A = this chain, B = another copy of it.
Amino acid sequence: MANVGTLGKHFIVEMWDCNREKINDPDKIMDILRDAAIAAGATIVKSFFHQFSPFGVTGVAILAESHISIHTWPEEGYVAADIFTCGDSTDPAVGVERLIEGFEPESSSFMELNRGNMQNKEAMLV
C-alpha cells in the first residue's frame, strides 16, 4: 500500500476551460467546495471565501483532516485547487472528482502527493 507510513494525501488539481459563470460566483464555489469535502469524508471546521476585484474567488475550507483550497481565474477559465487530508476515514480522490464535476473543466490534471512519509522523509511523489 502506497500510504503506509504517510500522514496525509495531498492532491494538486489543475482545471482549464471551466464554467466561467460558476468560477466567479462565491456561492457556487462554496457549494462545490463543501460537496467535495463531504464526499471526501472530511469534516469542515471553518470555511472562508473572498472575491477579488474585478475577477476571481478564493475559497478555503479548514478541515479536521487538513484543508481544501480553491483559487479561480475567471478571465482565463482556470481553477487551481488542492485537497489535503489525513487519516484513514477520508478519500481525497473522491473530492477531486467532485471538484471536476462541479467546475466542468474541458481539461484537467492532478498530482497526488504523499505528505509526511515516515519511511522516506524526502519522498512526496506517489
Does A113 count as interface, using CB distance less than 8 angstroms? yes
- Known interface pairs A64-B52, A109-B121; A76-B116 also in contact (CB < 8 Å): yes
- Contacting A121 at CB < 8 Å: which of B86, B107, B121? B107
- Known interface pairs A16-B121, A124-B109; A66-B76 also in contact (CB < 8 Å): no
Q: Is the CB of B14 within 8 A of A12?
A: no
- Contacting A12 at CB < 8 Å: which of B50, B62, B124? B124
Give the CA-CA distance A80 to B12 in the complex, in Å. 14
Q: Is the CB of B115 within 8 A of A113?
A: no
Does A45 count as interface, using CB distance less than 8 angstroms? yes
Please give, as numbers and ranges, the residues of chain B lying within 8 Å of A69 by CB-CB distance: 66-67, 69, 84
Give the CA-CA distance A62 to B60 in the complex, in Å. 8
Q: Which residues of A contact B (CB under 8 A)?
A: 7-8, 10, 12, 14, 16, 45-46, 48, 50, 52, 58, 60, 62, 64, 66-67, 69, 71, 73, 76, 78, 80, 82, 84, 86, 107, 109, 111, 113, 115-116, 118, 121-122, 124-125
